[in-house]
Amino acid sequence: MTETSLHGVKLASTSEEVACRPDQPLLDSLLRNDIWIPNSCNQGTCGTCKVRVLRGQVDHRRAPLDTLSAAERDDGLALACQATPCSDVEIQPVGESGAGGPRHRLQDFAGTVTGLADIAEDTRRLLVSLEKPMEFSAGQYVEITVPRTGAKRQYSMANAPSTPTELEFHIRRVPEGEATDQWIFTTLREGDQIQLSGPYGDFSYGDDDGAPLILVGGGTGLAPLMSILDHVLNLDPDREVHLYQGARTTADLYDADKLRRYAEAFANFHYVPALSMEDWDGRNGHVTDVMLEDFDSCKDYSGYLCGPPIMVEAGIKAFKRRRMAPRRIYREKFTPAAEAAAQPAGLALAAST
């Protein structure tokens, strides 16, 4: 690169090259230039973005040893979402090609808060109108910048991609959370401006040749599933879709009336809310167990899981027990930002709420 303040990042397989600031992660520079490599959490936790550095030097910054061991660093590997260039570099992803992953240019956006409402215990719906449309795939997320501190928080879109300027987020309050307790649940108001970047992530609707779908969400893990649900029903109102929504109590359950109306309007959409900590006149138990009770076989289905890691792991096991093909199981794990902050650098978020 000719500008001394920038380094070149070259992708060996295609010879495409982009300019990257010394403080900019390699992945960020690629995605902002429409060059896609496998990626998911953008937090250093999943390892999806692992690359081999074929030439040049990188700074691994806060890449956690759990995701990138000392031996891997010595062997020339790096996490593209964490590593920044110290010189011109040439890299090659080590993971799968991810040919089917969502590919939309990563951009910065300014937005105006158009709605803010409590929808369940310690849970808010945030509506944001963007100044320009954001192309994204159903299931992806953005990073919202917390004013004053500049911290980033990840939230999945709950709206379908067909409304690219009107974004919806479901946000769970985190005690003493920098983004929630100290901003979104206290000082944020309608009309306020916010900054965000996106889209991120590889959890997205994959078409699946029209296969029937099973969506399982825990807590605000419902958000990306709502985006997928709206997207799928827009495309194909007759598609067989089963949505399982897990919550602890009725106070935690939200959008149930809306989903029941969907079930009345779409003959092949089935909605099952399940509570794990309160007896009621609906289904009781962990949401993945409730789903298991309803299917003898998931062989020809595609499954989408989003929620706390323990729920997602249980869901993967449940789908496999019912013979769902692993390639048809899509998952997104998240933990609250407070838990992320309590862990060593980069050990937490996949898509936080």
Q: Which of these, 70, 166, 79, 149, lies nearest to 115 by C-alpha position? A: 166
Q: Name the minimum Å distance from CB 200 to ligand FES.
A: 8
Q: Enumerate residues 6+ apart whose C-beta is below 8 A from 93.
A: 37, 38, 49, 50, 51, 52, 80
The stretch among 16-24, 39-47, 255-263, 299-307 that binds ligand FES (CB under 6 A) is 39-47
Q: Name the minimum Å distance from CB 80 to ligand FES.
A: 6
Q: Does residue 302 touch ligand FES according to CB under 6 A?
A: no
Q: Does residue 79 touch ligand FES according to CB under 6 A?
A: yes
Cα 8 to chain centroid distance, Å, stands at 28
Q: Name the minimum Å distance from CB 33 to ligand FES.
A: 17
Q: Does residue 45 touch ligand FES according to CB under 6 A?
A: yes
Q: Does residue 311 touch ligand FES according to CB under 6 A?
A: no
Q: Does residue 29 touch ligand FES according to CB under 6 A?
A: no
Q: Does residue 352 touch ligand FES according to CB under 6 A?
A: no
> Looking at 29, 67, 288, 353, which residue binds ligand FES (CB under 6 A)?
67
The 10 Å Cβ neighbour count of residue 212 is 14
Q: Given the complex with ligand FES, which of 329 and 350 has the nearer CB atom?
A: 350
Q: Given the complex with ligand FES, which of 101 and 111 has the nearer CB atom?
A: 101
The 10 Å CB-count burial string (b at 16+, else e) for 95-130 is eeebeebbebebeebebebeebeeebeebbbbbbeb
Q: Does residue 159 touch ligand FES according to CB under 6 A?
A: no
Helix (H, G, I), strand (E, B) or coil at 215: strand
What is the DSSP annotation of 101-169?
S-----EEEEEEEEEEEEEETTEEEEEEEESS-----TT-EEEEEPTTT--EEEEE--S-TTSTTEEEE
Q: Does residue 53 touch ligand FES according to CB under 6 A?
A: no
Structure tokens that stand for 105 in this block: 């240019």
Q: Does residue 40 touch ligand FES according to CB under 6 A?
A: yes
Q: Does residue 340 touch ligand FES according to CB under 6 A?
A: no
Q: Does residue 201 touch ligand FES according to CB under 6 A?
A: no
Q: Which of these, 204, 227, 214, 202, lies nearest to 325 by C-alpha position? A: 214
Q: Does residue 30 touch ligand FES according to CB under 6 A?
A: no
Q: Which residues bind ligand FES (CB under 6 A)?
A: 39-42, 44-49, 67, 79, 81
